[in-house]
Chains A and B, each alone.
Chain A
Amino acid sequence: MDMKEEMALQIRDLKSHFFTSKGVVPAVDGVSIDVPPGRIIGLVGESGCGKSMTAMSVMGLLRHPGKIVGGTILLEGRDITHLSKRERSKVRGNEISMIFQEPMTSLNPVYPVGRQVQEAILLHQKVTKEEAKQRVIDIFKEVGIPEPEKRYYSYPHQLSGGLRQRVMIGMAMVCRPKVMIADEPTTALDVTIEAQILRLMKRLRDELGTSIILITHNMGVVAEVCDYVYVMYAGNVMEQAETFELFERTEHPYTQGLLKSIPKLDGKEDRLYTIEGVVPNLLHLPKGCNFCNRCDQTVEKCFVEKPELYETREGHKVRCFRYEGGVKA
């Protein structure tokens, strides 16, 4: 693959398992994701599908009893799967950074936000304190924080949720990372603020060429900002495609169900489509396809074998036997 060199981040067949007292939980079970530079990649799925755990594995933030048991993570072609703690912390925040759903928990409540961002700069770059402070103010301006000089001295609790998220994004961007992972960055925010943050992320992609992995459960957010989408379910990628393609030619029954069960803004429905049941317990996955017990389009094979990802069109892959051999059966 000559594509390899071009990718900002490449995840190959990643397996992260949790070794609990009740058994092994395959939270991430063979996930491959390509992140080209300057793109927003969507990672979408319901709770427990493994989307956050994939991100944590990439960041090297998996905690006991979780462990990467297989696969590779390549950052611009460099293997970062098994780095020492020291090397890992050089990469983290510098080349890959991450923002979370609730910025309040990732900011220290007893320090002004400006100082926290300044510290992040001093940690990774050789600049004087004064220069670092100026950088902070520039970054605050860049991520659209009004009155950045004043906000430098604000404590986290004095800022609204939207502003706190902007500070977090600013902190994530201080070292101009190649990849930023955003885990449900707008879920805790109101819609009008969410729209602002999404627009900011698009701007960062376009102006700085940052690649963003956007983890979300919201199909609307995906449609709004992502260039390419991976739909995850029970530790697997079920479907992946370029965004327009995915919404236009939804192929996997799970993706179809997800899209159908969202209430529409136009037109009146009497009942909503439902996917029966809930996400299976990862300790007791069905024998065949992970989705077979909720799927309404199963064939016999679905209950016996696990399907692979089949390419149906260029860049569009589906983990469903109905597309075995690349064509719909």
Chain B
Amino acid sequence: MAAERKTGEILLEAKNLVKEFPLANSRRGKQVVHAVSGVNLKIYEGETLALVGESGCGKSTLGRTLIRLLPATSGTLEFKGADITAMKEREFAQYRRQMQLIFQDPYASLNPRMNVKEIIAEPLTTYGLAKDKSDLERQVKELMGEVGIPAEFINRYPHQFSGGQRQRIGIARAIALRPKLIVCDEPVSALDVSIQSQVLNLLKDLQDQYGLTYLFISHDLSVVKFIADRVCVMFLGMVCEVGDTDSLYETPLHPYTRFLLEAIPKADPRLRNEEKELLTGEIPSPVNPPSGCRFHTRCPYAKEICRREAPPAKQVGERQVFCHFPLEG
């Protein structure tokens, strides 16, 4: 299945995408946060591509820049071959509705003063997709059914639902326009384990039903293992490694990927390893990222060249790794 998906056409492609935020109140001239620095990424139709990395690696910013919720500083974005980077808002509207977003915090992503009906109806009314009031209500109820919220709750307000249910309402809003691409920004990390699995299953079902493409942003590598076809590991605004999920988990090529995988606490005490090598130090600041390979300050294998030069993309089979000395490569 995974292989079949990858052969799909390119849905969204980012070329040399850069996103910088000016830092407020910076004393020494114009300082910027280098959130995304020259990312090349292809998202294929029908696949789930996961963006993983630690906080501050720019994965959320990249997700939002890819669907133009944030304007890119430089670089280009192509949606089905059309350059949407600087497209006028009016013209962009037809692409906007094909790219939707699911949020992390189910408590903050729903307007507390709107009921379920108004929340789910908003995308439909914005594009005039309902003939009349009863048609609108029918569509809303249908969407509620698809995400597993009983239709009789249509007039309830967000605070009357639990976290998992709110997340379902957010999902209903995102699929209302029948989008091609959905950016899921940590959609389950605020949920309890037992609720997390319900929502993950739902996302998978919806993908199968509507042929959705997901860009799944997460820091949780076990969740990613379950849902993603391909994984893109990021560190400090740059891509470390992109590749097929199974092979990336089995044989990580970038040292950072390996450390990430090893750091996850495994739910099996027999896998305890008191001797395992841990990454030392902290994540450097994205305001003054290290020169060369941005990972070199934490990488135990760093050599002179890593400090000087940013590693070029290396193709290893189907996978791509940005490292001067990839593991087992």
Direct contact of A and B (CB under 8 A): yes
Binding site for B on A (CB under 8 A): 46-47, 160-163, 190-196, 198-199, 202, 217-225, 243-244, 247, 257-259, 261-265, 268-269, 271-275, 278-279
Given contacts A191-B264, A192-B54, whether A46 and B278 have CB atoms under 8 Å apart is no
Name the A residues within 8 Å of B194 (CB-CB): 46, 257-258, 261, 274-275, 278
Binding site for A on B (CB under 8 A): 54-55, 162, 164, 192-198, 200-201, 204, 219, 221-223, 225-227, 246, 249, 259-261, 263-272, 274, 278-280, 282-283
Docked-complex contact B193 and A217, CB < 8 angstroms: yes
- Shortest CB distance A18–B (Å): 19
Most buried by B among A190, A198, A218, A243: A190
Given contacts A220-B267, A224-B265, whether A262 and B260 have CB atoms under 8 Å apart is no
Given contacts A217-B192, A220-B264, A258-B193, whether A263 and B200 have CB atoms under 8 Å apart is yes
Docked-complex contact B264 and A272, CB < 8 angstroms: no
Name the A residues within 8 Å of B260 (CB-CB): 191-192
Name the B residues within 8 Å of A225 (CB-CB): 265
Query: Mind listing 27 A-B residue pairs with CB under 8 Å?
Result: A46-B193, A161-B55, A190-B283, A191-B54, A193-B54, A196-B279, A198-B265, A219-B267, A220-B222, A223-B269, A244-B270, A247-B267, A247-B268, A247-B269, A261-B197, A262-B267, A263-B225, A263-B226, A264-B222, A264-B226, A265-B222, A269-B226, A271-B204, A272-B226, A273-B197, A275-B197, A278-B194
- Besides the known contacts A262-B197, A271-B201, 12 further A-B residue pairs in the complex with CB atoms under 8 A apart: A46-B192, A190-B283, A194-B265, A218-B265, A221-B265, A223-B265, A223-B268, A223-B269, A247-B270, A264-B225, A268-B246, A272-B197
Name the A residues within 8 Å of B283 (CB-CB): 160, 190
Docked-complex contact A263 and B246, CB < 8 angstroms: no
Name the B residues within 8 Å of A219 (CB-CB): 193, 267
Docked-complex contact A194 and B263, CB < 8 angstroms: yes
Name the A residues within 8 Å of B196 (CB-CB): 261
Name the B residues within 8 Å of A268 (CB-CB): 246
Name the A residues within 8 Å of B279 (CB-CB): 192, 195-196
Docked-complex contact A274 and B265, CB < 8 angstroms: no
Docked-complex contact A261 and B270, CB < 8 angstroms: no
Docked-complex contact B263 and A191, CB < 8 angstroms: yes
Name the B residues within 8 Å of A223 (CB-CB): 265-269, 271-272
Docked-complex contact B197 and A191, CB < 8 angstroms: no
Docked-complex contact A278 and B201, CB < 8 angstroms: no
Name the A residues within 8 Å of B225 (CB-CB): 263-265
